[in-house]
Amino acid sequence: MTRLLPNPDLDGRYRKAEKFLAALDPDWQALIAHVGPCVHQPRPERDPYEALIRSVVYQQLHTRAAERILQRLLDLYPHGHCPDPEEVLATPYETLRACGLSGAKATSIMGLAQARLDGLIPDQARAVQMSEKELIERLTTLRGIGRWTVEMMMMYTLEREDILPADDFGVREGYRNLKRLDKAPSPRALREIAQAWAPYRSVASWYLWRMPKRAAATAFSQSDEHVYIPADKPAITRRRSGPSGPIHFGITACSLGMLLVARSERGICAISLGDDAAVMLQQLQNQFKAATLIQAEVQLQQELAYLQTLVDEPDQEMNLPLDIQGTAFQQQVWTLLREIPLGQTMSYTDIAVRLGMPNGARAVAQACASNLLAVAIPCHRVLRQSGSLAGYRWGLERKKILLERERRQASQHRQA
């Protein structure tokens, strides 16, 4: 399931948290000024069972690899979303393994399904009523579920504002760099320190994940521009080095969740859709490792507004300058994508044939997956040969919605 609109109440709560934390000391004040407003995006539409299933899939994997395995798991079921416990238990173990799950993960997922049926995993309504201690004590008895996983579930699924994942390496390293310590505090010591951050420890953790490394920490509070330097989190992928100069980015809400636009000196170099602005920023930094990211919503206000409209009204002409980077083959594919008329689709095989390589459907699919410019380069208009939806960098639900909007607008034009 995709959450299409952010909770409007969150901004007010986050602004209170930012003011509270900034008042703690000059270090916190500098960090919050450097990172900017908190854009943490919970996912309350996922109940604890689904959140735990997803967490098991993602454990010890880079994000893109985990996303592929998760999509294979979801594709096992006709509805295409998280399977019910009964569906999981009716799925052969080897079928789960064939999705790319390890034996331990397949066993854990089956165990979670049984635990939900047994009432050990509460539904959303019940979980909201349970204390942090109750949830940790109950859920950490399940195979493959540790304290950190439960804390992430409480932060993201239950929208708890005062959760501190003290075992998290990024949080402890963030605090070490914030205070310029030689050694990160132990989880137990950090829990004591963090008492002063209550009742906003979730937001405090969000900021510590974004604390610059020590090399940058001495200068970040003196910067005149709002430069985003991510915490040392696992890379998602690196398909190209991209621009080495500054990249200005802006993020806003749109009807498909969050919209990120990034511009290099030559034009728009990235357009992405997502649910969590922090994750989207991390992906942008991973894609352009040599670049410095500069937050610039005001400077990109016109581009953001234009793309918000384009998402809703795809018959608008694309008139933004694009900085399109890729191999010669990728650019050939992307050029063909931009020639697909509104309301129409092509298959990967169709495009491969057009390029004179009838056996190159897989290479075409890889080129589509490498596209960094959502909507501007309409890779959502490419389907399997059967006509069914295939993978989409920004989520199959968004792909489906974009295609439906385009078909509707194309139909309206024909009737006019």
3-state secondary structure of 227: strand
Tokens describing residue 146: 């540790």
Size of the chain, expressed as the number of residues it contains: 416
Chain centroid to Cα 57, Å, comes to 15
* Other Cβ atoms within 10 Å of 171 Cβ, number: 27
Strands 227-228 and 292-295: antiparallel
> Which of these is catalytic: 47, 162, 168, 275?
168
φ, ψ of residue 257 in degrees (nearest 5): 115, -125
Using alpha carbons only, what angle is made at residue 389 by residues 242 and 259, rounded to the nearest 5 degrees? 45
CA–CA dist 359, 276 (Å, integer): 37
The question of whether 350 is a catalytic residue gets the answer no
Place of tokens 């696992």: 234
CA–CA dist 122, 48 (Å, integer): 7
CA–CA dist 392, 286 (Å, integer): 19
Strands 346-347 and 382-383: parallel
The residues annotated as belonging to the active site are 168
